[in-house]
């Protein structure tokens, strides 16, 4: 039998160590999270993406009583970017979450579908998207690309 392993390593940064653009992206994600439609989970998620031309787009999760019909914040903002800015690559994606009516931020990581969506966008533009994920302690996970969170990703079987 052969065994293999993967090792994932990324940075944990203090908020003040982020660039001004990255801090603003986290703030945009926090702001839009308040507009989440989350009557079932009460879990408000905000995502903001910085495009290579400096444009910032943001979105929040939108739930549905038929749970598979709901849309995650990061999926929604990347889909909007692709539809409205099809030639402009995303450079960075910020993600924040908290329970409705609570001050404390919670940890959230992209779900499997969102990881595949991020992977597809990276493949589309042939470049990684830096991920910034706010932690409950106010520090930020800085992840250089989705491969760190999705080492065994599903890729285009027709491309090779």
87 is catalytic: no
Write down the catalytic residue from 9, 22, 63, 74: 74
Burial class (CB in 10 A: 0-12, 13-18, 19+), 56: middle
Instruction: For residue 81, give Cα distances in angstroms to 16, 56, 68, 142.
Output: 27, 10, 22, 21
User: CA–CA separation, 24 vs 7, rounded Å?
Assistant: 30
CA geometry: angle 149, 153, 69, nearest 5 deg: 85
Which amino acids are annotated catalytic? 74
């Amino acid at each position: 039998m052969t065994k293999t392993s993967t090792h994932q390593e990324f940075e944990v940064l203090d908020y003040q160590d982020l660039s001004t653009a990255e801090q603003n992206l986290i703030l945009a994600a926090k702001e839009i999270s308040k507009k989440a439609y989350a009557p079932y989970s009460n879990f408000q998620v905000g995502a903001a993406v910085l495009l290579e031309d400096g444009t910032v787009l943001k979105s929040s999760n939108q739930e549905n009583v038929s749970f598979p019909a709901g849309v995650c914040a990061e999926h929604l903002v990347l889909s909007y970017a692709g539809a409205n800015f099809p030639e402009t690559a995303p450079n960075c994606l910020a993600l924040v979450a908290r329970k409705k009516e609570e001050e404390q931020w919670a940890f959230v990581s992209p779900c499997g579908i969102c990881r595949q969506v991020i992977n597809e966008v990276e493949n589309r533009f042939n470049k990684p998207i830096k991920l910034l994920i706010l932690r409950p302690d106010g520090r930020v996970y800085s992840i250089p690309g989705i491969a760190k969170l999705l080492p065994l990703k599903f890729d285009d079987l027709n491309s090779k």
